[in-house]
Amino acid sequence: MSEARIERISNENSTAGPIISGITTFSGQNYFVPPKGTTAERPSNCPAGSIRFNTDSAKLEYFDGLQWLEMEAFNVEIGISTAAAPASSGTGHRGVFGSGENPQHTLDYITISTLGNSQTFGDYSVTRFTAGSCSDSTRGLWAGGQIPSPFTFYNLIDYITFASTGNTTGFGGDLVNTTYDVTGTSNSTRGLFAYGTQGPGFTFVAKIDYVTIQSTGTNAQSFGNLSTTRNQTTSFSSSVRGVFAGGMDPGIVNTIDYVTISTLGNAQDFGDLPTTRRNTVSCSNSTRGVIAGGFNPTYRNEIEFITIATTGDAQDFGDLTVARGFAGGVSSSTRGVFGGGSDSPGNYDTIDYITFSSTGNAIDFGNLVRGESRVYGACSNGHGGL
């Protein structure tokens, strides 16, 4: 076997070099720098297996012959969530499903790359439901919520650490207002909480608050407003954009709007859902946002998707295994998972999943360990904003 060792090839000005083709293997002692560019600059005529660095998502991605997909990273501290193996025996992204009305304080978790039933993670510091959640790669936050008797709104924020299990811990700061029907989304730095019903009365609002996820001991600050006053909406993100879909104001709407997470300001119109719906569930990777289920005038099983970096109406993706609303959505860069839900008066312990890179119906994943339950607030350490 012949071997050539070349430290550098360039033109006389060191501004460019030749294109070398036909290489079958490559090795280096330190690193190599792949081609890079934005999502909009992705080439479409390259061979399958091509690799590039996406400067929008700050992640490596590869071309499978049809589309660009992210390379998924794993957290070595987080284990698989099967009963046959302890939590330290595997790796993967973890999704945590927040409490529901039955019971009102329990958190469950799964490892998204596996299949199987969830396991108990811990409890909320204060029993409540309709809280919203967001997360970075190490920490998940829940904010707001309510209890029905005596009817009480909360502005409380608390958090968990994904790599461990246990009860939530107080964040040390609060939302700007007491509120319920909160939805949350985030990138790796900032968490956003949008809410449509503010206490102490039942006032419809369109507010968005934000926190720095790793900065405990600080209150949330005002970010801006949704494009329309509404509650019972759903949200997801890329590293750049937060997106909010559906809801009720009090009429049920099909609105999709978005914000740029790193800035402050009001949401802008993105497009529309095919039908007006509330209490939908959503998740995302860095490219696609997926919206599923919901209600109007019956509980629905439709799944739709958008491309987050663009604007426009949602398109058909497939169907859930069970028509329902009030579910929780978590994701990795390759898989979206929907847990729990309700088609009032019945609740479900169903967990099903989709693969972002394709379209099609959801597939059975397992069941919630807590049993049949609505889920309010779910988050993961591998979603599209990270």
The answer to whether residue 79 scores a pLDDT higher than 50 is no
CA distance linking residue 36 with residue 133, whole number of Å:
32
- 237 and 303 both lie in a single domain: yes
Q: What are the two backbone dihedrals, phi and then psi, of residue 40, each rounded to the nearest 5 degrees?
A: -65, -25
- 202 and 282 both lie in a single domain: yes
Domain boundary among 7, 37, 71: 71
Residue 5: pLDDT band (50, 70, 90) is low
Question: What's the confidence (pLDDT) of residue 67?
Answer: 72
One-letter amino acid identity for 147? Answer: I
> pLDDT tens for residues 24-54?
566 666 777 888 988 778 888 889 889 998 8
Within-domain flag for 13: no
- 321 and 353 both lie in a single domain: yes
| CB distance 153 to 180 below 8 Å | yes
- 351 and 233 both lie in a single domain: yes
CA distance linking residue 153 with residue 150, whole number of Å:
10
Specify the higher pLDDT residue, 264 or 20. Answer: 264
In this prediction, what percent of the chain has a pLDDT beyond 90? 64
Kindly state the tokens that stand for 284: 């995302």
> pLDDT tens for residues 324-353?
999 999 999 999 999 999 998 889 999 999
- 65 and 110 both lie in a single domain: no
CA distance linking residue 153 with residue 10, whole number of Å:
65
Within-domain flag for 232: yes
Boundaries of domain holding 316: 94-380
pTM summary value: 0.79
Measured over the CA atoms of residue 208, residue 385, residue 161 and residue 337, the dihedral's sign is positive
- 119 and 264 both lie in a single domain: yes
Within-domain flag for 6: no
> pLDDT tens for residues 234-272?
999 999 999 999 999 889 999 999 999 999 999 999 999
User: How many domains are contained in the chain?
Assistant: 2
Measured over the CA atoms of residue 329, residue 330, residue 332 and residue 337, the dihedral's sign is negative
**Pairing state between β 59-63 and 335-339:** unpaired
- 110 and 48 both lie in a single domain: no
Domain boundary among 8, 37, 71: 71
- 26 and 163 both lie in a single domain: no
Torsion of CA 160, 165, 168, 172, to 10 degrees: -50
Q: What CATH number is attached to the domain comprising 279?
A: 2.120.10.80
CA distance linking residue 12 with residue 245, whole number of Å:
54
CA distance linking residue 19 with residue 42, whole number of Å:
19
- 176 and 38 both lie in a single domain: no
Within-domain flag for 81: no
Within-domain flag for 339: yes
Within-domain flag for 2: no
| CB distance 364 to 315 below 8 Å | no
The answer to whether residue 69 scores a pLDDT higher than 60 is yes
- 304 and 359 both lie in a single domain: yes
Q: What is the DSSP string of 226-247?
A: -SS--BS-EEEE-SSEEEEEEE
> Which are the contacts of 282, defined by CB distance < 8 A and separation ≥ 6?
234, 235, 236, 245, 289, 290, 291, 292, 329
Decide: residue 33, CB within 10 A, 0-12 exposed, 13-18 middle, 19+ buried.
exposed
Q: What CATH number is attached to the domain comprising 41?
A: 2.10.10
- 144 and 28 both lie in a single domain: no
> String of b and e for 50-82 (b: at least 16 CB within 10 Å)?
bebebebbebebebeeeebbbebeebeebbbbb
Specify the higher pLDDT residue, 373 or 198. Answer: 373
Question: What's the confidence (pLDDT) of residue 115?
Answer: 93
Within-domain flag for 39: yes
- 59 and 105 both lie in a single domain: no
Within-domain flag for 100: yes
Residue 84: pLDDT band (50, 70, 90) is very low
Question: What's the confidence (pLDDT) of residue 305?
Answer: 98
> pLDDT tens for residues 153-191?
899 999 999 999 999 999 999 999 999 899 999 999 999
